[in-house]
Amino acid sequence: MNIAFITSEAYPFAKTGGLADYSYSLPKALAKRGHTVHLFLPRYYCIDKYRFQCTLIGKPLAVPIGSGIRWAGIYYTDYIEGVHTYFIEHDDYYGRDGLYDNNGISYHDNAERFIYFCRGCLEALIQLEIAPEIIHCNDWQTALIALFLKIHYKDNANFNNTRSLLTIHNVGYQGVFGKEVLHLLQIPDTLYNPSNIEFYNNVNFLKAGIVYADCITTVSKKYAREIQENEYGYDLSEIFKAHSNKLFGILNGVDYEHWNPEKDELIPYNYSINKLSGKSKCKKALQEFYALKKNNFPVIGCISRLTYQKGIDILINTLDWLFFDEQEVQFVILGSGEQWLIDRFESLRAMFPDRIGVWWGYNEKLAHLIEAGSDFFVMPSRYEPSGLNQMYSLAYGTIPIVRATGGLDDSIEQFDEKLKTGNGFKYINNDSAELYTIIRYALRVYKNKLMMKKLIENAMFFRRSWDDAVKEYEELYTNIKKSNE
């Protein structure tokens, strides 16, 4: 199949979260299955054209925006094996340090930047004579592609056989903008109504995608159900319900070439399910990095964006109690995000400097060391569409302690001491006391060496590779093509 995959971030070019991992792994897995894959991204300032061997291709690209046009350049690289990657360059929009914001403050022209990107990709496909059978877009930034295909390009022969699929990675981010952005879209006024793109007197880009895409997916089955409920739907639950016949959940996969303790070059000692001694050595290295006491106390790790979604405030309350009550436990965190959360961790660390370690910012190498060197990995998310770190943890024999929501619920099975089944620990309610109870339980299991060994084996036995996930996408692509023929 000929597939255009359109995204606002992809590893290794530009990354703020799991969307980048996804936008690297899925296109690569599709290409490996023999599909022709064209990946499109904005050419942000941080994407180094020399490092990624990008070359300018095609003619200058005239991209309609509002009632005028603005010119773009198209850069090309085959840096990701088998994936044709294109960057839409327009420095006024993308020649900035951040992808979406400057130190947490969203760019004032984000609506225009991503309207332009969506139009730019469609125009680039026409200029390059690429007629995709599927256009796979992601999140609010590229959701408008589905709308544009049905309005501006409905009679364009290039897209005669094109169907659109929108993957939603996080309903908490919808791209909601004031009515003044309508003129940039150049669509009929009649579409500004509550069953289309209007959303409480604003324009909602994600909603446009939900309404106009031929198919919608989210990144786990549980999350696909959750977003149809008020609590998780962020005011779109009714729209999701109305379009539930084209809504599916497919759990993300793990790139086991990148996240594999046997071969991982970013950790100091490699290890496997049969030879775990390297894991203990990684634990020592982790304790040393964070200047913690080197001992056999269980280490709980956490790598996260520090935001409301991730329930980090709930975790801090739990740790407050835990560290006063329990002497034999350590905790390390790697994260970036809201300052008030950082401040709270800092004051906790000041009280327990040889048992709590913190590192703020983005650090890929340290992320791998935490996965390898920790005994437990905590994810107290309020909601988690898929989550990747819990699956990375499983691969490293690091036992996840998670809230039973979205992809965390789909990938983690509660450990059962009697049956010796399960790969982690789950709690139901968004509540510090419940998290506290489950951590205490996990620490009790830790003391039983045989039990812990079985649990680690169960964890490392878990597999959710992109080779599995990609087959589910293929099936959907085929079905949308058929249903529209």
Length of the chain measured in residues: 485
Scanning residues 4 to 43, which ones bind ligand ADP (CB under 6 A)?
17-18, 21
Scanning residues 198 to 227, which ones bind ligand GLC (CB under 6 A)?
219
Residue nearer to ligand GLC on the CB measure, 386 or 458 = 386
Candidates 7-15, 52-60, 356-364, 385-393; binding stretch for ligand GLC (CB under 6 A): 385-393
Angle between helices 110-127 and 139-151 (to 10 degrees): 50
Scanning residues 21 to 60, which ones bind ligand GLC (CB under 6 A)?
22
From candidates 134, 147, 187, 334, binder to ligand ADP by CB under 6 A: 334
Q: Does 18 contact ligand GLC by CB under 6 A? A: yes
| Sign of the dihedral defined by the CA atoms of residues 398, 403, 404, 409, in that order | negative
Smallest distance from ligand ADP to CB 305, Å: 5
Looking only at the bridges linking them, the beta strands covering 202-204 and 198-199 are antiparallel
Residue nearer to ligand GLC on the CB measure, 288 or 467 = 467
- Give, for 72, the enclosing helix (H) or strand (E): strand 68-77
* 3 state SS of 371: helix
CA distance 446 to 299: 10
When CB distances to ligand GLC are compared, the closest residue is 18
Scanning residues 383 to 412, which ones bind ligand ADP (CB under 6 A)?
386-389
Q: Does 153 contact ligand GLC by CB under 6 A? A: no
> Strands across the sheet with 176-177, in order?
176-177, 202-204, 198-199
Long-range contact set of residues 285-288: C-beta below 8 Å, sequence gap at least 24: 285/369, 285/373, 286/332, 286/369, 286/370, 286/372, 286/373, 286/374, 287/330, 287/373
**Position of tokens 């996408």?**
473
**Position of tokens 């995709």?**
132
Q: Does 385 contact ligand GLC by CB under 6 A? A: yes
Q: Does 337 contact ligand GLC by CB under 6 A? A: no
From candidates 367, 394, 399, 401, binder to ligand ADP by CB under 6 A: 367
**Position of tokens 């941080």?**
46
Count of residues near ligand GLC by CB under 6 A: 14
Scanning residues 288 to 307, which ones bind ligand ADP (CB under 6 A)?
303-305
Smallest distance from ligand GLC to CB 472, Å: 14
The answer to whether the CB of 407 falls within 8 A of the CB of 286 is: no
From candidates 3, 332, 370, 388, binder to ligand GLC by CB under 6 A: 388
Q: How far is CA 248 from the centre of its chain?
A: 17
**Residue 336 touches which of ligand GLC, ligand ADP, none (Cβ within 5-8 Å per kind):** ligand ADP
Q: Report the interface residues with ligand GLC, using CB under 6 A.
A: 17-19, 22, 169-170, 219, 252, 384-388, 407
Q: Report the interface residues with ligand ADP, using CB under 6 A.
A: 17-18, 21, 303-305, 334-336, 362-364, 367, 386-389
